[in-house]
Chain A
Amino acid sequence: MLHIVACIKQVPDTKIIKMNPKTNTMDRSSAPAILNPYDAHAVEEAVRLKQRYGGVVSVVTMGPPPAVKAIRKCVEIGADEGYLITDRAFAGADTLATSYALTKAIEKISEIKPVDLVICGKMTIDGDTGQVGPGIARRLDIPPLTNVNKVVEVNQSEGYVIVHRKLEDGYEVIRSTLPCLFSVEKEINEVPYSPLPNMLRAARYQPVIWAVNDLGEIDRTLLGLKGSPTIVAKVWPPEKPKGGERLEGTAQEQVSRLMEILQEKQGLFRVKEEQV
């Protein structure tokens, strides 16, 4: 019986976010809150492993009370239990403070039932760092396995896992001791359309909600803004295309100029060789 904990986060849908052109601030209210898309894959992978090996899937999130909605989404995918840690004290956390709070929560969940495996998404679309997963692993002192795009085997009795880690140009096959932590790529699975019984269960589901005081012994100076070494000093809108440069000259010259620009900025093109 595996106990898998997936870390999930509710995020604003950054694809829809609007900028207020006057104040240069983000109109966060314009973007609906969704389950971080990468985390849906984390939960799905946990559910698949549960189906393969038997076990329980818990999800944990740190966030404001409406994050209950994201937990319900995970129950739809097939998670069994959900834990929301929510407290003023967590506000303003960077990745270091986030990984601390989540580690405390996972330790607490472990008291209920020992945790074998933690699965995170590759990254969040708002924080966008991918640092929280490895942070949790370090704090729990278990191996962090990032960029996982395939789980070959989880062997609980012998205490090891075999996974594929995605590289820029391929993958590596890794064997690690269990317990450990995966950060998973989107491509690891497809999240299927949830069955109706899961939907009904999710609609009714009430997650466990913990505040800081529920997490046992905890160093408050490591939480939230206080516990965050990084601060956001300023934000500004990225350069918007404002009637950019018109390239000059003959067709050939314009293309040459464009190629120069692309060479300066790219790193993106892999040209298919002409068939000879």
Chain B
Amino acid sequence: MNLEEYSGIWVFLEVKDGQIAPVSLELLGAGRQMADKRGVPLAGLLIGEGVASLAEMVFPYGADEVYLYDEEIFRDYRTESYMRAVLECVEKHKPEIILYGATSTGKDLASAVATDLQTGLTADTTMLDVNAETGLLEASRPAFGGNIMATILCKKHRPQMATVRPKVMKALPPDPNRTGQIIRETIELREEDIRTKVLEIVRETKEKVRLDEADVIVAGGKGLGSREGFELIHRFAEKIGATVGASRDAVEAGWIDHQHQVGQTGVTVTPKVYFAIGISGAIQHIVGMQNAGLIIAINKDPEAPIFQSSHYGIVGDAFEIVPILMEAFQKMPDKEVQYGGKI
């Protein structure tokens, strides 16, 4: 394989509800930086039916070009049809890097494409960089349940590919004056050749998950003072779609069932966000939650050890702070943010 033949950075533009998915715009932001570093163009790859109008929308976010497949056969996402388009386009234009959002669609597509291209694919990347000279992509991601970070390279194969978690890259502020070139592509693909059919798409809201699988946990401790006080935790958790956790002392006080206990003699949790409210931070508690992505402590004792183990600490009375927090969430502009982002 002649690596020199491959040039340019691509972003797979995922379409969701007739819009370019936020994660794709984020990837254009990250891709722009890398393309500048390399001095190569940044292209979007847009596949769908009736999506031509969306192509224009991505230039303000940093794309120089968009490869567009706009055909009826692409109405619904299907691995086999989309994959064909990507494979053909890659064959024709030979990019050095392709980024996909680590969404169910992005991951599904990238895995299939990587196999056919016999190239490397790094999953769920959270950091990206590129070597200006060699064009080598440095894709870093959490591994082993978040216990370590690993940087993954693909030295001898092109294109280098990665899926990237939503919300970890930043979209550029749109520049309405930026324009680019739309390159229309066509493909020979008949419906009979596609072995899967989408019969129906059903939208629904998510239900709650278990503590050890929860993405957001609101945990309360002895500092809540009473069973009634602990209600605050339930209310806050419900408000933000979180799961309720507790310290052992709160459990032993009988305010909440043992199955909510986090820690050495409880559950070990790895949520993306962990609120520790009125919890002192005993080591037995810490061992159960220290791998959370973001730990936020609320405690009225400025000396409480929990502050040593949290990313952000608020010194104050839970009964004052939490209601203000709940109000702030209520006012949050982007309430239905896409689920599945990881920190």
Binding site for B on A (CB under 8 A): 12, 14-17, 19, 26, 94-96, 99, 125-126, 128-131, 133-135, 137-139, 143-147, 162, 165-177, 180, 186, 228-238, 240-247, 251-252, 254-256, 258-259, 261-263, 265-274
Cβ contact within 8 Å between B199 and A125:
no
Cβ contact within 8 Å between B216 and A269:
yes
Chain B interface extent, by class: 35 or more
* Known contacts A131-B114, A170-B204, A173-B198; A229/B157 CB under 8 A: yes
Cβ contact within 8 Å between B204 and A12:
no
A251 contacts which of B110, B307, B316 (Cβ < 8 Å)?
A: B316
Sorted nearest first, the 4 A-B pairs with minimum C-beta distance are: A267-B341, A14-B145, A229-B120, A134-B111
Question: Chain B CB within 10 Å — which of A126, A128, A254, A271 has the most?
Answer: A271
Cβ contact within 8 Å between A170 and B202:
yes
CA distance A255 to B166 in the complex (A): 25
Binding site for A on B (CB under 8 A): 76, 79-80, 103-104, 107-108, 110-112, 114-116, 118-124, 138, 142-157, 166-167, 195-206, 212-213, 215-216, 238-242, 268, 270, 272-273, 290, 294-296, 302, 307-316, 320-321, 324-325, 328-330, 332, 334-343
Cβ contact within 8 Å between B339 and A133:
no
CA distance A120 to B339 in the complex (A): 24
| Given A266-B167, A266-B341, 19 further pairs, Cβ under 8 A | A19-B148, A95-B123, A128-B123, A131-B110, A131-B121, A143-B79, A175-B197, A237-B149, A244-B307, A244-B310, A245-B313, A246-B307, A266-B337, A267-B166, A267-B339, A269-B242, A269-B337, A270-B336, A271-B329
Cβ contact within 8 Å between B154 and A271:
no
Cβ contact within 8 Å between A145 and B196:
yes
Contacts of B144 in A (CB 8 A): 12, 14, 17, 26, 125-126, 128
CA distance A175 to B1 in the complex (A): 38
Question: Chain B CB within 10 Å — which of A17, A96, A243 has the most?
Answer: A96
